[in-house]
């Protein structure tokens, strides 16, 4: 039993390393079915092997919100918990919350994960953090990355990029990305523009500044 664990992690690590060598930076994405096609990935993010891998991480179970869909809120799309667990209808989520869109093949995403973890440890009681492994066919490599980064905030998976172009969200064309959800569950600002940012976060301070800009919460001042 114990001998299988190093082999499993070694295989996932090799897959992740190969992908990161090939795709070292942000990558443009194409929304699924944008041309009317019907192809969808059959990759599962919940298998016995993935559950074993998740058990070796610090990830908590995914927890649905307590609300319903709201105008200007996240779309009514149910996403599975990465590595097994409770699926979540993201329209039920309430903030303040930052949602990090990332993938195992995205080099900047790999660099960001420890920063989001630091933010979660510093400010998680005031602004929740949620990860979404987005447009990613490598759930094993994704779990390897969160294990290496000691990530302890929940992770959903959107293998088929279902969030992209799901009203009120725009096309989500590249990674990494950030969605900002306010206390009412709204993901658009007063003008109706989605609170979505596509950039690599280089520091906790940068993320704090974005939270102040998009959610009006000054974490440095404790307000």
pLDDT at 72: 97
Q: Domain with 177 in it: what CATH number? A: 3.40.30.10
Q: What is the mean pLDDT of the chain?
A: 87
pLDDT band at residue 221 using 50, 70 and 90 as cut-offs? confident
**Does 55 fall in a domain?**
yes
pLDDT at 33: 42
pLDDT at 29: 56
**Does 109 fall in a domain?**
yes
pLDDT at 14 over 90: no
pLDDT at 173 over 50: yes
**Does 38 fall in a domain?**
no
pLDDT at 21: 34
Query: Whole-model pTM?
Result: 0.84
Please count the structural domains in the chain: 1
pLDDT at 195: 98
Q: Which two tokens mark 162?
A: 């279902």
**Does 180 fall in a domain?**
yes
**Does 40 fall in a domain?**
no
**Contacts for 57 with CB less than 8 Å, ≥ 6 apart:** 83, 143, 146, 147, 151
**Can you state the angle between helices 204-215 and 107-123, rounded to 10 degrees?**
70
pLDDT at 65 over 50: yes
pLDDT at 24: 40
**Does 28 fall in a domain?**
no
Domain that holds residue 87: 4-23+45-215
pLDDT at 73 over 60: yes
Between CA 34 and CA 53 the distance in angstroms is 33
Average pLDDT of 85-90? Answer: 98
The DSSP-derived string for 138-175 is -HHHHHHHHHHTT--S-EEEETT-TTTT-TT-----BS
pLDDT band at residue 220 using 50, 70 and 90 as cut-offs? confident
Output 10 or 211, whichever has higher pLDDT: 211
Q: Which helix (H) or strand (E) holds 80?
A: none
**Does 57 fall in a domain?**
yes
Share of the chain above pLDDT 90, in %: 79
**Does 144 fall in a domain?**
yes
């Amino acid at each position: 039993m114990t001998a299988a664990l190093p082999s499993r992690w070694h295989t996932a690590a090799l897959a992740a390393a190969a992908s990161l060598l090939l795709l070292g930076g942000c990558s443009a994405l194409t929304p699924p079915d944008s041309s009317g096609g019907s192809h969808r990935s059959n990759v599962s993010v919940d298998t016995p092997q993935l559950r074993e891998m998740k058990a070796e991480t610090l990830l908590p179970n995914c927890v649905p919100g307590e609300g319903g869909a709201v105008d200007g809120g996240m779309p009514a799309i149910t996403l599975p918990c990465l590595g097994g667990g409770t699926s979540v209808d993201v329209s039920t989520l309430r903030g303040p919350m930052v949602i990090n869109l990332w993938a195992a093949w995205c080099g900047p995403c790999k660099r960001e994960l420890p920063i989001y973890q630091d933010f979660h440890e510093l400010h998680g009681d005031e602004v929740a953090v949620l990860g979404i492994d987005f447009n990613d066919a490598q759930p094993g490599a994704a779990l390897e990355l969160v294990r290496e980064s000691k990530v302890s905030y929940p992770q959903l998976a959107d293998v088929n990029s279902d969030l992209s172009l799901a009203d009120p969200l725009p096309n989500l064309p590249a990674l990494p990305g950030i969605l900002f959800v306010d206390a009412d569950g709204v993901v658009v600002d007063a003008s109706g523009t989605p609170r979505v940012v596509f950039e690599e976060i280089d520091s906790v301070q940068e993320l704090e500044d974005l939270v102040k800009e998009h959610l009006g919460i000054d974490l440095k001042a404790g307000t």
